Amino acid sequence: MHPDGRLEYVGYETFNGVLDYPVSAHPVQDGNDLLFHAYSVDEELIKEHGTMKVGRYNAETESVDTYLVPTPGKSHVSFAHSLIYTNEYIIVWDCSVHFSTDALFEGGSFFKNNQDHTLKFGLMPKNATSRDEVIWIDSGQTGAIVHPLQAWEETEELENGEHRTLIKLWAPFCEDLELDLKQSNTFHMMEFSIDASHKTVSQQVIDDGISSEFAVMPPKPSHSSPKSICKTKVNNPDGSSTVHSSTLSVHDRYGFTAIFDEEGSGHFVGYAKWDMASGNRCLHSTKYFSRGEIGGEPMVVRASGKERDTIYVGSYVYNEEENQSYFLLFDGETNELVCRLKMPKRVPYGFHGQFISGEDFESHFQYHEALDKEELNDVQHCPLKWMRFFLKDFIGLGQI
Ligand SMILES: [Fe+2]
């Protein structure tokens, strides 16, 4: 990356020749780890490896500590656009949408919905070394997930002392996903409760009033204090109560998705804010763009320093009448518009983005300048170490 923000392509990253399989669109940062995965339809790759491969790159040791095929069979290739993690597991899935060569003859998408196949979750312990350690659990429900919102562990303790630990996973869920540009899909926010020890999954729709996708969480605070545990007492309909102890940090309470219009054109017309705190779980609020303006995925920004609990939601919108793009920034607390910037050029529809604070960029540049001059001291560190995956270091020319 150049100081003015331009990106320059420098080549493939293979982590010193370790990567022998493609990498998909959504690597995920988990502390110092970068979790990544991909599925492949290449016959040779499937024969040699499998239909999917998952990896964990450790930025501290600069090595790929986990890299394996989690799927037990090679009979079908499931659409698996991203992955998610909890404290204990990397979670992947096998859904009802599969690769099919039918499109060669019939047209349309190479991914077809197969209603005979249910959604299954694969729980992969973070230090797993073989696919035998991956726990696959069938939800019994047909459907698909594209971009999940958040996952965490939660212990429910009843008054009599009985307790159980569940994995909670929130994701926009579509029962009959068709990856065809001619068709729009309906996604409702779903809470999956996964019981790893009993191998069961139950699901609950959080809201069916809006259809929304492109789930995004605020970035973690860069100098984070230890994770705070959310503990809530929930009153049950029978008069008893359950205490929920969640690994969800207070910084992860709210998440965001982009709202589809009601006409089924597939355009995003606003964003939704979701509250995941136990006892409260709901659609918190919605914000719609002005009429005639089409947005992209929400980009969530966290302020730095003492303001780090303040979050903002950004989106590029395209105004059809004016043939003009704008960048909008909203207050993540009140959903009020904070600023509206006219873009010098049209921004492509559905433009993705990620916010990196100026503070982090500054430490990144200082670290590499010191590294180049061999003047690095013990306290200096690079907060963006994981970004070597995407970006050339403009000072060190690859010596991250
Ligand atoms: Fe995506």
Tell me: the pLDDT tens digits for 289-298? 999 999 988 9
Gap from CA of 306 to ligand 1 centroid (Å): 32
Q: Are strands 254-260 and 241-246 parallel, antiparallel or unpaired?
A: unpaired
The winner for highest mean pLDDT among 69-78, 116-125, 179-188 is: 116-125
Q: Which residues, 6 or more positions from 348, have their beta carbon under 8 angstroms from its beta carbon?
A: none
User: 245 burial class (0-12, 13-18, 19+ CB within 10 angstroms)?
Assistant: middle
CA 375 / ligand 1 centre spacing (Å)? 40
How many whole angstroms from 195 Cα to the centroid of ligand 1?
27
* pLDDT > 90 fraction of the chain, expressed in percent and rounded: 55
Ligand 1 center from residue 220 Cα (angstroms): 20
Q: Which residue has the higher pLDDT, 310 or 210?
A: 210
What secondary structure letter does DSSP report for 78? B
Average pLDDT of the segment spanning 243-250: 86
| b/e code 14-40 from CB counts within 10 Å (16+ = b) | ebeeebebebbebbebbeebbbbbbbb
Please give the distance, rounded to the nearest whole angstrom, from the Cα atom of residue 205 to the centre of ligand 1.
22
Whole-number Å distance, alpha carbon 78 to ligand 1 midpoint, is 15
User: What is residue 27's predicted lDDT score, i.e. its pLDDT?
Assistant: 87
Token digits of residue 78: 């499931």
Centre of ligand 1 to C-alpha 160, Å, is: 44
- pLDDT of 304 strictly over 70: yes
pTM: 0.88
Distance CA 156, CA 396 (A): 49
Distance 125 CA to ligand 1 centre (A): 24
Cα 193 to middle of ligand 1, angstroms:
23
Question: Ligand 1 centroid vs 381 CA: distance in angstroms?
Answer: 30
Of 47, 22, 50, nearest to 37 by C-alpha is 22
Measured between alpha carbons, how far is 183 from 178 in angstroms, rounded to an integer?
7
CA 25 to ligand 1 centroid distance, Å: 6
What is the reported pLDDT for 396? 34
Q: Which carries the bigger pLDDT value, residue 343 or residue 221?
A: 343
Question: Distance, CA 397 to ligand 1 centroid (Å)?
Answer: 29
**Residue where the block lists tokens 């903002």:** 312
Mean pLDDT of all residues in the chain?
87
Ligand 1 geometric centre to CA of 148 (Å): 10
Task: Please tell me the distance between residue 311's alpha carbon and the centre of ligand 1 in angstroms.
Answer: 22
Interval between CA 83 and ligand 1 midpoint (Å): 11
Question: Would residue 49 be called left, alpha or beta, if left means φ above 0 and alpha means ψ between -120 and 50 degrees?
Answer: alpha
Q: pLDDT of 83-139, one tens digit each?
A: 999 999 999 999 999 998 888 888 888 888 999 999 999 999 999 999 999 999 999
Q: Compute the distance from residue 9 Cα to the ligand 1 centre, in Å.
A: 21
DSSP assignment string, 315-339 = EEEEETTTTEEEEEEEETTT--EEE
Distances (CA, A) of 18 to 45, 52, 126: 15, 16, 18
Residues facing 200 on adjacent strands: 195
List the structure tokens of 268: 């995003």
Measured in angstroms, how far is the CA atom of residue 260 from the centroid of ligand 1?
A: 15
Kindly give the distance from the C-alpha atom of residue 156 to the centroid of ligand 1, in angstroms, as a whole number: 33
Task: Determine the distance separating the centroid of ligand 1 and the alpha carbon of 147, expressed in angstroms.
Answer: 6
Q: What is the distance in A from the centroid of ligand 1 to the CA of 316? A: 16
Query: How close is the Cα of 245 to the center of ligand 1, in Å?
Result: 31
Distance 228 CA to ligand 1 centre (A): 29
Q: What is the pLDDT of residue 94?
A: 96
Which stretches of 213-372 are DSSP H helices?
A: 358-372
Residue of higher predicted confidence among 160 and 288: 288
Interval between CA 366 and ligand 1 midpoint (Å)? 32
Distance 352 CA to ligand 1 centre (A): 9
pLDDT of amino acid 227: 60
pLDDT digits (tens, 9 = 90+) for 7-47: 777 777 888 889 999 888 788 888 889 999 999 999 999 99
Residue 224 — pLDDT band, cuts 50, 70, 90? low
